[in-house]
Structures are given as C-alpha cells and as structure tokens.
Amino acid sequence: MLSYIKIITKLLISACLFIVSTNVFAIGKIAIIIDDMGNNLHNQAFLELPKNVAFSILPFTPFSKKIAYSAHQQKREVLLHIPMQAHSHNHLLGEGALTSEMTKQEHQQKLSDALDEIPYAIGVNNHMGSQLTEDGVIMQWTMSLLYNQGLFFVDSFTSVQSVAETSAVAAGLPDLRRHVFLDNVRTPEAMEKQFQAAIQHSNKSPYTIIIAHSHPETLLYLSQRLATIDESYQLRPLKDLISIQERVILLLKKVQYYQQNLLPSDLSTVIIQ
C-alpha cells in the first residue's frame, strides 16, 4: 500500500508542476512523430534529433526493443506503431497487424501482445489502417483497451473517413490526430513546404502533429531544420498537447492497471510521464 501512495503522490506532484510550467493550449505547439521505427539498426541515427521528437515503433521488428530502450534513456516519448488493415497494399502491414476478420477477443489480445513488444510505450498510433480506422466498432474495442491501460491514441488519419479520433474521445482518451505528413515527397523543398504548412496550422489551432518516417532524407532534413532557431512555433512532446485533467486520468488508469497485473514489487517499473 505504501508503494501505491508513493506513486499517487509522484503523480500529483508531476501534475502540479505541469500546470505551473506549461500552458497546454498555447498557440504554436508542434509535435513530431517518427513512424516506422524498428526495422533497421540505422534508425538509431534518429536519436540525434531533439528529445521532444517522439518515436513510433513497429512491433515484432528486429530492433524495436533496442530503439525503445535507447529512446527511453533519453526521456524521449515512445509509441507503439500498430499495423492496421488498409484498403490496399496489406502485404506491407508486417507482423502483429489488426484486421477486420478478428473477433473482439482476438483483436484486443493481438493489441496487448504488440504493446508488450514495445517497452515504455505511452501511446499508440496506426500504421496504415485506412480501412480499420473507418470501423466504429473495432475502434471502440481499441480505445477501450488503451483507456484501461492508461495509454493515448494518435489517429494517423490515413483515411478522411477515419473514426479513430472520435472513438478515442468517446472512450475518454485525449483528442489527438495527425495534421501534416512531412515526407510523402522526400526532397528538402517539399518537406520544407510541409513544415511551413504545419507552422501555419499551429498558429490557428491548439496544436499540430507532424508525422514523418524513418528515411535518411527525412533525418537529414529534420537535423538541419530543428537545429535552426525559429520562434514561430514550439517543438513540444505529445504529452504537452494533452490537458492536465486527461493526463491525470490516464496516469491513474495506468497505476490501476499495474496494480491489477503486477506484483507490488514490480510497481517501480511504472513510468510517470
């Protein structure tokens, strides 16, 4: 019981410090997620980017755990990049994919298994998923599991018909979705155009989320772009886009989940973000 009290105390202190130090909905907040991490050891080069850049890591890939551990050591945010069925090109999904043929039990077990593969994950976003994110029932299964584990979901928004964002909000999760894909075209000029679009969006919205990918061209561009002083936006971690009330709820759910699923001696592994 004493260990539980200590965890709750740390949670509340963290919440208070967050209120003092951060205006969550200040204009100009941009968060960046690097998708598709884990397949290539060269992905580790992205560790040179500012620590506010989050990594979204594919499950069951050769270097997923190594990259997750390294990112965590930097206090960088780690997400599970869960493969989800798309309208086409499903041969590219990879291991651990969620598909429409699964029952609720199969779906949630598969998602749980994928989460177990990515240590220190504090949230999830979809890899592909243009078909599955349009299914309200399946998205409800997804968000229910994440809510019970105190994890958030970022809708990669690979379909304009996606209901992932609204399903997350309905389940009590934060309202988070991608606004700009940085590197659909991997030239410096094209990526700069997308970055400028993100800055413009952030100046009229509570936040902007950029998704980029683990390409060498992307790394080169971001290394140079983020090293440049630019006062027209703030590069923030994803947690800074979440209201304090929602953060406290997620942290309480996470503690509750660990209490129910771990021995008391294991509670020290709970990461208070």
Amino acid at the residue 163: V
Helix and strand counts by DSSP (H, E) for the chain: 8, 8
89, 96, 183: which is closest to 130 by C-alpha? Answer: 89
C-alpha 54, offset from chain centre:
7
The dihedrals phi and psi of 84, each to the nearest 5 degrees, come to -130, 145
Contact (Cβ atoms closer than 8 angstroms) between residue 134 and residue 155: no
Contact (Cβ atoms closer than 8 angstroms) between residue 125 and residue 98: no
**∠ CA 176-180-181 to the nearest 5 degrees?**
115
Q: Which two tokens stand for residue 175?
A: 């309202």
pLDDT value at residue 271: 46
Cα dihedral value 45, 68, 151, 127, nearest 10: 60
Amino acid at the residue 169: V
Which mean pLDDT values do the consecutive 10-residue runs of the chain (273 residues) have? 52 50 63 98 97 98 98 98 98 97 98 98 98 98 98 98 98 98 98 98 97 98 96 97 97 94 55 46
Report how far residue 30's alpha carbon sits from residue 209's, in angstroms, rounded to the nearest whole number: 6
pLDDT value at residue 207: 97
